[in-house]
Structure 1
Amino acid sequence: MTCDRLVCANCAGPVNEARCSVCRAQRARRHRDGLSAAVTPAMLLALLVALLSVALAAREMAL
């Protein structure tokens, strides 16, 4: 998730504008964590299932 749609609970402003210290801290944390913060267990499971299905399809084509 990006900061574009987040609203600060402290100042009620958009987080990407960083109006208060809470906004600035949240925006810095989002930028520091990057993509690794967005990876969820459900996404990892979906990736595993996709990789398994590709491996099984490749195995069937090789036989």
Structure 2
Amino acid sequence: MTCDRLVCANCSGPVREGRCSVCRAYRARLQESGPLATLSPATLLGLLVALAALVMLTQSVVTA
């Protein structure tokens, strides 16, 4: 998840701007969560499908 569209309940501003301490804390927590946390669900699904296709391809090459 990214903080591009999140609105802070404390200051009603975009979280990406970091107007208050709550915004800044949440933005910092999102940045610490790792590289896969910033990917959208569609991108993760695409990576999973690509991985499954790669596994199927390698199995067919090994058995041939």
Q: Name the TM-score class by shorter chain.
A: 0.5 to 0.7
Q: Unpaired runs of 5+ in structure 1? A: none
* TM-score using structure 1 length: 0.62
Per the alignment, residue 5 of structure 2 pairs with 5
2:28 counterpart letter in structure 1:
A
Which of the pair is proportionally richer in helix?
1
Deviates more, 1:6-15 or 1:29-38: 29-38
Indicate the percent of aligned positions where both proteins have the same amino acid: 57
Please tell me the root mean square deviation across aligned C-alpha atoms, in Å. Answer: 2.8
Partners of 1:38 and 1:6 lie apart in 2 by: 13
Please say if 1:57 is aligned against 2:60. Answer: no
Q: Which has the higher contact order (CA 8 A, sep 6+)?
A: 2
Partners of 1:5 and 1:16 lie apart in 2 by: 8
Deviation of 1:15 after TM superposition, in Å, equals: 0.5
1:10 counterpart letter in structure 2:
N
The number of residue pairs the alignment matches comes to 60
Q: Unpaired runs of 5+ in structure 2? A: none
* TM-score using structure 2 length: 0.61
Change beyond 3 A, Cα 1:44–1:9: same
Per the alignment, residue 32 of structure 1 pairs with 32
